[in-house]
Amino acid sequence: MSTTPPPDPAPSELNATAASLLGFLHTGAMTGWDLARAVESSIGEFWNVTRSQIYRELRSLEQARLVDAGVVGTRDRRPYTITPHGREAFARWITRPPGDDLVRSPLLLTVYFGGHLDESSLVRFLTMHRVRHEQRLADYRTLHEALREQPELRWVRFALEYGIEHEQAVLRWLEGLPWFQGPSPPQ
């Protein structure tokens, strides 16, 4: 008679954050810290995940037996590996149609309520964002070019192409604002 508890039933539907962590774990064991770095350096520009969310999701995934937690190592870091049930749950999640995009832009929120700001502050914020978007566009283009010779990463390149188009659109929008069209501010 086995004393191993039966696996908890997998959640009927993974949330996108949990599923993304399972996606990263397909490449091998990772700690929460490793996952946070992987998120920040890859999907972080279009899928916001906080470190606290990562650790919360890892606990839930472990309870659902979708990941196995390894032995705590240096700096209290615990490696996680995806289980066969986790692979099945990810496979089900990735085949479902994605939901609608949700735009969460602190810049757009500030612009929407821009009438409550003095114009110099608004122009300063817009200028800061223009510089950020120019840098992000340059970074995306550099990474896209670096991946050109790696056909196995074509899906990453496709996502980068979306990012490039997005950054170009934001920069076109910013350049079309009255503050950036001529020498005098709008009235």
Residues 67-116 pLDDT 10s: 999 888 777 789 999 999 999 999 999 999 998 888 788 999 999 999 99
Q: Using CB atoms within 10 A of its CB, is residue 140 exposed (0-12), middle (13-18) or buried (19+)? A: buried
Instruction: State what percent of residues in the chain have pLDDT above 90.
Output: 71
Higher pLDDT, 44 or 118: 118
Query: Is 185 a residue whose pLDDT tops 60?
Result: no
Query: Is 119 a residue whose pLDDT tops 80?
Result: yes
User: How far apart (Å, rounded) are the C-alpha atoms in residues 21 and 36?
Assistant: 9
Residue 182's pLDDT is 56
Q: Which of 134, 129, 145, 144 is nearest to 167 (CA)?
A: 134
Kindly give, in sequence order, each residue whose CB lies less than 8 Å from that of residue 23, ignoring residues fewer than 6 positions away. 90, 94
Mean predicted lDDT score pLDDT of the chain: 88
Q: In what order do the strands lie in the sheet with 30-31?
A: 30-31, 79-82, 67-69
Q: Which domains does the chain have, with CATH numbers?
A: 16-94 (1.10.10.10), 106-180 (no CATH)
Residue 57's pLDDT is 97
